[in-house]
Amino acid sequence: QVQLLESGGGSVQEGESLRLSCVGSGYNNNNRCMGWFRRAAPGKGREGIAVFGSDGSTRYADSVKGRFTVSRDDTANTLYLQMNSLKPEDTGTYYCATTLPTSLQCSAGERELTVTNYRFWGRGTQVNVSS
C-alpha cells in the first residue's frame, strides 16, 4: 500500500525559508514522477508547484522558479522541497504525490504539474507566511 507522509510545514515571516519532506513507503521510485502541490485555501484547487522526474529532471511553476528547489533521496525514499524567500502568497497546504509507474522514465514536463497525472497523495502539511 502506497503511503506518503509530508512534514516540515510551519509559520514563518516573509523572506524566511522552510524545507518540506515527504517520506514514501509501499513502492519504489522506478519510472515515477513525484510532485509537490499547493492548495491556497480550503475549497480551492491544488496548484502544481514542483516535479521531480525519475530521470532526474525537474519542473517548477512560474510562481516559485528561482526560490524553490525540489530534490529526492532514493535511499531514504524521501522527496524534499526547499523553499526560500517565502512570500505571503506561498501560504497554503502542501501535498506530495506520486504517479503510477510506467514502462518508460517519467520526465518532468509541463503536464506533470497537473493534478490528474498523480495517483497517490499525502495528507498535506500547512505553511503560513506572514508579512
| Nearest one of 128, 124, 126 to 95, comparing CA atoms | 124
The tens digit of pLDDT for each residue in 70-97 reads 999 988 899 999 999 999 999 999 999 9
- DSSP one-letter string for 34-95: EEEEEE-STTSPEEEEEEE-TTS-EEE-TTTTTTEEEEEETTTTEEEEEE-S--GGG-EEEE
pLDDT in tens, 2-34: 999 999 999 999 999 999 999 999 887 678 999
Distances (CA, A) of 24 to 11, 79, 102, 110: 24, 8, 18, 23
pLDDT-based confidence at 130, cuts 50/70/90?
very high
CA distance linking residue 114 with residue 110, whole number of Å: 8
Q: What's the pLDDT at 26?
A: 87
pLDDT in tens, 100-109: 988 899 999 9
